[in-house]
Structure 1
Amino acid sequence: MTNYLYKQSLFLLTLSLLVLTGTAQVHFTVDGTIRDKKTGEVLIGATVSLLEIPRSGIMSNAYGFYSISASPGHYTLLVSFSGYQPDTVIINLDKNLLLPIELTTASNQLAEIVVSAQKRNDNTISSPLMGVQKLTTTDIKNVPVLFGEKDVLKTIQLLPGIQFASDGNSGFYVRGGGADQNLILLDEATVYNPSHLLGFFSTFNSDAIKDITVYKGGMPAEYGGRLSSVIDIKMNDGNNKDYQFGGGIGLISTRLNAEGPIVKDRGSFTISGRRTYADLFLKLSSDSSVSNNSLYFYDLNIKANYRFDEKNRVYLSGYFGRDNLSFGNTFGIDYGNATGTARWNHVFNSRLFSNTSVIFSKYSYKIKINSDNNNIGLTSNIRDIDLKEDLQYYIDADNKINFGLGTIHHTIAPGILSASQSSSFNNLVLQNKYSLENALYISHEWSPADRLHFNYGLRVAEFIVLGPPDSIVTTYTNLEPRASLSLRVNQVSSVKLSYNRNTQVLHLLSNSTSANPTDLWIPSSNNVKPEIADQGSIGYYRNIRDNHYEFSIEAYYKAMQNQIDYKNGAQLIANENVESQLLFGKGRAYGLELFGKKKTGRLTGWVSYTLSRTELQIDGINQNKWYPNKQDRTHDISIVGIYQANRKWTLSATWVYYTGNAVTFPSGKYTVDGQTAFYYTERNGYRMPAYHRMDVAATLQGKKKKRYESSWTFSIYNLYGRENAYSIVFQTDPNDPTRTQALQYALFRFVPAVTYNFKF
Structure 2
Amino acid sequence: MSNNKLVCLLFIFLFLGNKIIAQKTVTSRILDFEKAEPVQDVSVRLININKGAYSDENGVFTLDNVSDTDILVLSKIGYATISITVRDVEEDVYLSPEFSALKEVVIRSFSSSQLKRTVPDQIYFSQKDIERLPFILGEKDVIKLIQYTPGVQQATEGQSGLLVRGGNGSMNLTLLDNIYLHNTAHLGGLFSAINSDFVESLEFSKAGFDAAHGGRLSSITDIKTLKSADTTYFEGSIGLLSAKLTGNIKLNKKNSLLVSGRRTYLEMFKPLFGDDNSILGKNKNYFLYDFLTKHTLKLSKKSNIETTLYMTHDNFKDQTKGRNRRLKWGNVLLGTTLRHQFSSVLSSQTTISNSFYEFSFSDNDFPFNYNATSTFNVFSLKHHFLWDRSAYLLKTGAEYNKNKTLPKQVEASVDSTPLVVLNQETYHYDDVSVFGDLELPVTDKIKLKMGLRWATFFAKANALLEANVFTSLEPRISIKYQILDDQAFKFSYQRLEQFVHQASISSFSLPADFFVISSNTLRPQAVNQVSLGYAYEENGLQINSGLYFKNVSHYTEFENGSVNNLFSNNIYNDILTGKFNSYGLEVSVNKKVNSLTVQGAITLSKTRAQFDGINQGNYFPATFDRPININTIMHYRLNNRLELGALFLFTSGQNYTRPLDIRVIDEKPILNFGAKNGARFPNYHRLDLSCTYAFKKKERWSSKLNLTLYNVYNNKNPFQIYFTTEGAADDTFIEITENKDTLFPFLPTVNWVFSF
TM-score when normalising by structure 2: 0.79
2:592 equivalent to 1:603: no
C-alpha separation between the residues in 1 aligned to 2:737 and 2:282?
Answer: 35
Candidates 294, 299, 303, aligned match of 2:290: 299
Candidates 292, 307, 315, aligned match of 1:324: 315
C-alpha separation between the residues in 1 aligned to 2:498 and 2:368?
Answer: 39
SS at match of 1:393: strand
2:344 equivalent to 1:355: no
Conserved? CA contact 2:142–2:194, under 8 Å: yes
Letter of the aligned partner of 1:349 in structure 2? S
Question: Which position in structure 2 is the counterpart of 1:6?
Answer: none
1:68-99 Cα distance to aligned partner (Å, 9 max, x none):
xxxxxxx9999x9xxxx9975579xxxxxxx9
Question: Which position in structure 1 is the counterpart of 2:262?
Answer: 274
SS at match of 1:359: strand
Letter of the aligned partner of 1:222 in structure 2? A
- After superposition, the Cα gap between the structure-2 partners of 1:47 and 1:486, relative to the gap in structure 1 and judged at 3 Å, is farther
Letter of the aligned partner of 1:632 in structure 2? D
Letter of the aligned partner of 2:742 in structure 1? A
Question: Which position in structure 2 is the counterpart of 1:345?
Answer: 339
Question: Which position in structure 2 is the counterpart of 1:71?
Answer: none
- After superposition, the Cα gap between the structure-2 partners of 1:688 and 1:448, relative to the gap in structure 1 and judged at 3 Å, is same
Question: Which position in structure 1 is the counterpart of 2:186?
Answer: 196
Q: CA deviation at 1:276?
A: 1.7
Question: Which position in structure 2 is the counterpart of 1:551?
Answer: 543
Letter of the aligned partner of 2:545 in structure 1? I
Conserved? CA contact 1:177–1:228, under 8 Å: yes
Question: Which position in structure 2 is the counterpart of 1:690?
Answer: 683
1:160-181 Cα distance to aligned partner (Å, 9 max, x none):
1101234443122111111111
C-alpha separation between the residues in 2 aligned to 1:608 and 1:282?
Answer: 34
Question: Which position in structure 1 is the counterpart of 2:609?
Answer: 616
C-alpha separation between the residues in 2 aligned to 1:398 and 1:121?
Answer: 24
The 5 A counterparts of 1:165-180 are 165-180=155-170
Question: Which position in structure 2 is the counterpart of 1:386?
Answer: 380
SS at match of 1:207: helix
SS at match of 1:147: coil
The 5 A counterparts of 1:386-535 are 386-394=380-388, 396-417=389-410, 423-426=417-420, 429-467=423-461, 473-512=467-506, 516-535=510-529
C-alpha separation between the residues in 1 aligned to 2:724 and 2:331?
Answer: 38
Question: Which position in structure 2 is the counterpart of 1:643?
Answer: 636
2:181 equivalent to 1:219: no
Q: CA deviation at 1:560?
A: 1.0
> Which moved further from structure 2: 131-140 or 617-626?
131-140
Question: Which position in structure 1 is the counterpart of 2:244?
Answer: 255
Letter of the aligned partner of 2:558 in structure 1? Y
Question: Which position in structure 2 is the counterpart of 1:10?
Answer: none
C-alpha separation between the residues in 2 aligned to 1:382 and 1:88?
Answer: 51
- After superposition, the Cα gap between the structure-2 partners of 1:462 and 1:698, relative to the gap in structure 1 and judged at 3 Å, is same
Letter of the aligned partner of 2:211 in structure 1? A
Conserved? CA contact 1:283–1:292, under 8 Å: no
Unpaired stretches in structure 2, ≥5 consecutive residues: 1-21, 45-51, 72-83, 95-107, 274-280, 727-734
Candidates 226, 244, 252, aligned match of 2:233: 244
CA RMSD of aligned residues (A): 4.1
SS at match of 2:572: helix
Question: Which position in structure 1 is the counterpart of 2:123?
Answer: 133
Candidates 558, 573, 578, aligned match of 1:566: 558
Letter of the aligned partner of 1:717 in structure 2? Y
C-alpha separation between the residues in 2 aligned to 1:305 and 1:550?
Answer: 37
C-alpha separation between the residues in 1 aligned to 2:569 and 2:662?
Answer: 32
Conserved? CA contact 1:314–1:344, under 8 Å: yes
Conserved? CA contact 2:508–2:720, under 8 Å: no
- After superposition, the Cα gap between the structure-2 partners of 1:654 and 1:333, relative to the gap in structure 1 and judged at 3 Å, is closer
Letter of the aligned partner of 2:264 in structure 1? T
Conserved? CA contact 1:237–1:303, under 8 Å: no
Conserved? CA contact 1:199–1:514, under 8 Å: no
> Which moved further from structure 2: 519-528 or 499-508?
519-528
SS at match of 2:497: strand
> Which moved further from structure 2: 614-623 or 681-690?
681-690
C-alpha separation between the residues in 1 aligned to 2:308 and 2:147?
Answer: 26
SS at match of 1:478: strand
SS at match of 1:314: strand
C-alpha separation between the residues in 2 aligned to 1:370 and 1:657?
Answer: 34
Q: CA deviation at 1:757?
A: 1.0
Question: Which position in structure 1 is the counterpart of 2:571?
Answer: 578
Conserved? CA contact 1:126–1:488, under 8 Å: no
> Which moved further from structure 2: 205-214 or 101-110?
101-110
Conserved? CA contact 1:146–1:168, under 8 Å: no
- After superposition, the Cα gap between the structure-2 partners of 1:375 and 1:550, relative to the gap in structure 1 and judged at 3 Å, is closer
Q: CA deviation at 1:126?
A: 3.4
Letter of the aligned partner of 2:240 in structure 1? L
Letter of the aligned partner of 1:322 in structure 2? H
Question: Which position in structure 1 is the counterpart of 2:199?
Answer: 209
SS at match of 1:156: helix
1:253-299 Cα distance to aligned partner (Å, 9 max, x none):
111222211223x33111001112235568999xxxx9997532221
SS at match of 1:153: helix
Q: CA deviation at 1:492?
A: 0.8
- After superposition, the Cα gap between the structure-2 partners of 1:100 and 1:701, relative to the gap in structure 1 and judged at 3 Å, is closer
C-alpha separation between the residues in 1 aligned to 2:589 and 2:477?
Answer: 25
C-alpha separation between the residues in 1 aligned to 2:675 and 2:368?
Answer: 37
In the comparison of the two structures, how many residue pairs are matched?
Answer: 670
- After superposition, the Cα gap between the structure-2 partners of 1:492 and 1:224, relative to the gap in structure 1 and judged at 3 Å, is same
Letter of the aligned partner of 2:294 in structure 1? K
Conserved? CA contact 1:143–1:697, under 8 Å: no
Question: Which position in structure 1 is the counterpart of 2:581?
Answer: 588
2:172 equivalent to 1:182: yes
1:500-520 Cα distance to aligned partner (Å, 9 max, x none):
111111122221366634422
SS at match of 1:599: strand
Letter of the aligned partner of 2:692 in structure 1? T
1:401-426 Cα distance to aligned partner (Å, 9 max, x none):
01110100001123444579974234
Q: CA deviation at 1:742?
A: 7.4
Conserved? CA contact 2:293–2:309, under 8 Å: yes
- After superposition, the Cα gap between the structure-2 partners of 1:610 and 1:710, relative to the gap in structure 1 and judged at 3 Å, is same
Unpaired stretches in structure 1, ≥5 consecutive residues: 1-36, 58-74, 92-98, 734-738
Question: Which position in structure 1 is the counterpart of 2:221?
Answer: 231
2:746 equivalent to 1:750: yes
Conserved? CA contact 1:198–1:515, under 8 Å: no
Tell me the percent identity.
29
- After superposition, the Cα gap between the structure-2 partners of 1:749 and 1:324, relative to the gap in structure 1 and judged at 3 Å, is closer
C-alpha separation between the residues in 2 aligned to 1:121 and 1:692?
Answer: 28
> Which moved further from structure 2: 139-148 or 624-633?
139-148
- After superposition, the Cα gap between the structure-2 partners of 1:101 and 1:477, relative to the gap in structure 1 and judged at 3 Å, is farther
2:300 equivalent to 1:312: no
C-alpha separation between the residues in 2 aligned to 1:152 and 1:616?
Answer: 31
- After superposition, the Cα gap between the structure-2 partners of 1:590 and 1:243, relative to the gap in structure 1 and judged at 3 Å, is same
- After superposition, the Cα gap between the structure-2 partners of 1:256 and 1:521, relative to the gap in structure 1 and judged at 3 Å, is same
> Which moved further from structure 2: 358-367 or 138-147?
138-147
